[in-house]
Structure 1
Amino acid sequence: MKNQVSRRGLMLAVLLAFTASTSAHADMAKRRNEIVEVVQKVSPAVVFIGTESEAESPFRGRRSAMEDFFGTRQRQQGLGSGVIVDPNGIIITNDHVIRGASAIHVVLADGRELEAEVIGSDANNDLAVLKVNSKQPLPAAKLGISSDLMIGETVVAIGSPFGLSKTVTAGVVSATGRTFKADGRTYNDFIQTDTAINPGNSGGPLLNVDGDVIGINTAIFASAQGIGFAIPADKVRRIMDELTRFGKVRPAWVGIEVQALSPRLARQLGWDRTYGVIVSEVEPGSPAEQAGVRRGDVLAEMGGSRISDAEDYVTRARGYPARAAFPLVLFREGNPRTLQVTPVEFPPQLVEALGWNRLGLRVKPTRGAMAIQSVRPGSAADEVGLEPGDLIVRINNQPVAEPASFQEALLSARGTRSVLLLVRRGRYGYHVTLPF
């Protein structure tokens, strides 16, 4: 009798355990939502990025015995996130995460730490491409499409805020095509999200519910809550391709000069919107001229989002490398038109003309600088007293030791109102600001 009771008790216990186990699995199935699936799918491709850089000691000038022993340079550390987008070890992150780093360490999801090299980096678009070497293919995320994003759709961010690796947050797309200013720069065409993004999330992926990378997290408003920004995937793809192939974003030529659209001028043109710019000049033979852009056109949208002002247009145009076509919506004679514009590499002969027409200078390389050959009479350079034989050492704090760097500095200055030159005459150097 006792044996029968014992067997019944054992069977009941097994039945209860089986029922509990089945119930737990059933509960997990219910709890396994789209966010859980995204995290399980993509988190192996998200990496932690640690950097090291050297900085001058704050005690410089009053050395101690300790400093005599250890030196006067201190090692600083930074942190951020990144995402593997190619099994061969290609990683996307932010430029500001790795800028100035003397060493970059990448920690993979399996705990391995690898040294990374910089394939290319671009501060204007705040993107960098890194490469790590692994004997086996690495888990990689798919770089998706951002042009079809819907306001309100669910998005997920994975990163390492404050060094807390594999932190997951979720929210929605709050807006697209956002433009904002920070640290003296204008950033445009961003995805705005209420997904919690904190320091250390920079460079990590913003994902849709399919697990596709639709943005690279890059910025927050420190004084606000629920406002974060990500670089859209379509832009990431363009810049990544340029950085991978050339190590930098090559200056491209569109051939449009624009100016602010005043309310009075807008009324005269029949334009009743609060955004847009007017085309003041179309360069002959340029991609813009070939596409059909004319002087006096109102440029309303570029790449699918509105153009807020002249600075916004210039900054956004720099985000399109050579051969990367974009749609341009313009307003002419009361009618909207959509044109397809394809930038090309900036013609070298036009760079020389840029220096002569805007600065009034012709230069040649000499002794690690660019020597002024001639000064155009009546130009801004002539008015401040620049003379043949003066040496231009830097433009906007960018060294110009050879023609290529001089050309690049001039191209980078397009769209700005002035340039800062460091000029050397004899033993003396001085700064000169010229309108551009």
Structure 2
Amino acid sequence: MSSLISSVRPAIRGAGFGLIVATALMLPPRAMVGAVVAQTLSDVSIADMAETLLPSVVNISISQEGDADAGDRPVPKVPEGQPFEEFFEDFFDGEDGLGNRPVSSLGSGFIIDPSGIIVTNNHVIENADTISVTLASGETLDATLLGIDDKTDLAVLKVEPETPLPAVKFGDSRNVRIGEWVVAIGNPFGLGGSVTLGIVSARGRELDGPYDNFIQTDAAINKGNSGGPLFNMDGAVIGINTAILSPSGGSIGIGFAVPSELAENIVDQIVEFGRTRRGWIGVRVLEVSDDLAASLGADDPSGVAVGSIIEGGPSDGGPLEEGDIILSFDGHEIDSPRDLPRFVAEGRIGEPADVEIVRDGERMTVQVTPQLLEDPELAASEPAMGDEALPDGGAADPPGLPVTLYGLTLGDLDDNGRALYQIDGDVEGVLITGVEPESAGADEGLEPGMVIVEVEQNAVSTPQEVRSRIVKLISEGRRSVSLMVAAPDGALSIVSLVLE
């Protein structure tokens, strides 16, 4: 995850206000708006719901014992003159002013089993020597770390209560609709038991992780809410609050939650095995452009194309072949190269899965059996992109995952891309594989087959490098970025991409 993604992580910056004005112009009369809202919430009392759910949400703190340089650790601060300033100074600095309480992180979590199993974010408990969980009753218990998954920023803890704890259940985030009401409960700025109400403002958001599929919400989420639950109106957990978009680190109404459809399976695996068990099918895939679809005999650019088969991988020897276009995996439609890794990783290891493909213009279904990816460090790219298997059991550097931003879809400049767009062998950088009409990239004349060589005079070699550099510039207040771009024949040009 990017360092700009807050704890939730310090904040990603950037937001506009044009949408507020545009939406306001479209609102129905005031009386009608009130009627719609009243009708939507008429069958549920937020107060009753909060009273039921609050006992299942916990506060989490960590400490790093025996640290001789405790004073060098970052200590939460409140700006001068703001509410709670004195409280925070007393709590974190102590009487000697040296920060003698070794608390270095405050976050949230929620109980999923009465025996004391708790879910939170990995970044909340990362590098902890001890972990403490404070229940809604005020009782504090020592927690044991059962396992983590840093690719999705999840962690599972275990406490030993004297009596069963109130637990909540995961809901099905696949049924969540944009505009649906949701409730977030957590520990913002150490103020435990805070409840906020909002709606699902978007789905399928991607930040930096290989399996990102975040739910976006405008329910207020701040630092300390990390790891807390996002509930639907049935009181089921449909997300784990993880990150915020903010120029200041405080809520501006854009928060992100790991969806339960992804989290529940990972949590179950951590509880059972102590780690995640992801599958892979050993193929590298490409986004399907109109030209590529036509060359492979497809009528439209749906799905992803198999660029290569990994030697020794699950698909070595069939049934997938180079040039196949994968339309769906185990019933899940594939819209982009990012979809396949997630669906394969969530699938059943060792069990055949139906894969719908187009081969030489003919639609057919084959069965592929995912195998366990033994090295968890390869989990960022193993299912779809596949890592080059080496004789010694290691792996080559994994290829970068495709990235979409400002209307541009970016991919690795590999042999397939060079051949498809006839790119000169001397050109190095990041391949543009798609450009949305009327986007910022299209406005600058960028086209598929062009290569981004530099971002603000810094050479780039992966899609993630391009995104991270642009996100950093946004965080610094930049509204445009200079790109050096190479045409397939190697001719260089400079364009200024407007960041709006």
Question: Residue in 2 aligned with 1:179?
Answer: 206
Question: Residue in 1 aligned with 2:254?
Answer: 227
Question: Residue in 2 aligned with 1:80?
Answer: 107
> Contact 2:44–2:233 at 8 Å: present in 1 too?
no
**2:51 partner amino acid:** Q
Question: Could you tell me which of 89, 94, 100 is aligned with 2:127?
Answer: 100
Rg bigger for which structure? 1
Return 5+ residue gaps in structure 1 as ranges. Answer: 1-29, 61-70, 363-405, 418-434
- The equivalences for 1:34-45 within 5 A come to 34-45=45-56
> Contact 1:186–1:312 at 8 Å: present in 2 too?
no
**1:158 partner amino acid:** I
User: Deviation at 1:37?
Assistant: 3.0
Distance 2:304 2:136 in 1: 47
Judged with a 3 Å threshold, the aligned counterparts in structure 2 of structure 1 residues 145 and 292 are, in CA distance, closer, same or farther, namely: farther
Question: Could you tell me which of 195, 199, 218 is aligned with 1:194?
Answer: 218
With the length of structure 1 as denominator, give the TM-score of the two structures. Answer: 0.62
User: Deviation at 1:257?
Assistant: 1.9
Q: Over aligned residue pairs, what C-alpha RMSD do you find?
A: 4.1
- The equivalences for 1:354-373 within 5 A come to 358=388, 362=392
With the length of structure 2 as denominator, give the TM-score of the two structures. Answer: 0.55
Q: Secondary structure at the match of 1:147?
A: helix
CA shift digits 1:311-337 (9 cap, x unpaired)? 664466445573698776655555777
**2:57 partner amino acid:** V
Q: Secondary structure at the match of 1:124?
A: coil
Question: Residue in 2 aligned with 1:115?
Answer: 142
Give 1 or 2: higher strand fraction.
1
Judged with a 3 Å threshold, the aligned counterparts in structure 2 of structure 1 residues 206 and 271 are, in CA distance, closer, same or farther, namely: farther
Distance 2:54 2:111 in 1: 10
Judged with a 3 Å threshold, the aligned counterparts in structure 2 of structure 1 residues 131 and 341 are, in CA distance, closer, same or farther, namely: farther
Judged with a 3 Å threshold, the aligned counterparts in structure 2 of structure 1 residues 264 and 244 are, in CA distance, closer, same or farther, namely: same
> Contact 1:155–1:207 at 8 Å: present in 2 too?
yes
**2:55 partner amino acid:** P
> Contact 2:179–2:200 at 8 Å: present in 1 too?
yes
Question: Residue in 2 aligned with 1:209?
Answer: 233
Question: Residue in 2 aligned with 1:308?
Answer: 336
Judged with a 3 Å threshold, the aligned counterparts in structure 2 of structure 1 residues 79 and 262 are, in CA distance, closer, same or farther, namely: same
Question: Could you tell me which of 46, 50, 53 is aligned with 2:61?
Answer: 50
Q: Secondary structure at the match of 1:219?
A: strand
CA shift digits 1:348-405 (9 cap, x unpaired)? 9xx9xx9xx958764xxxxxxxxxxxxxxxxxxxxxxxxxxxxxxxxxxxxxxxxxxx
Question: Could you tell me which of 264, 267, 288 is aligned with 1:237?
Answer: 264
Q: Secondary structure at the match of 2:175?
A: coil
Return 5+ residue gaps in structure 2 as ranges. Answer: 1-40, 74-97, 401-411, 413-461, 463-500
Aligned positions, number: 324
Higher relative contact order (CA 8 A, sep 6+): 2
Distance 1:341 1:232 in 2: 26
Distance 1:324 1:201 in 2: 38
Q: Secondary structure at the match of 1:116?
A: strand
User: Deviation at 1:299?
Assistant: 3.5
User: Deviation at 1:261?
Assistant: 3.6
CA shift digits 1:229-283 (9 cap, x unpaired)? 111112111111211122112353322221344453134344645x753112345
Judged with a 3 Å threshold, the aligned counterparts in structure 2 of structure 1 residues 255 and 209 are, in CA distance, closer, same or farther, namely: same
**2:214 partner amino acid:** F
Judged with a 3 Å threshold, the aligned counterparts in structure 2 of structure 1 residues 284 and 86 are, in CA distance, closer, same or farther, namely: same
> Contact 1:189–1:316 at 8 Å: present in 2 too?
no
- The equivalences for 1:332-343 within 5 A come to 332=359, 343=370
Question: Residue in 1 aligned with 2:434?
Answer: none
Distance 1:329 1:178 in 2: 25
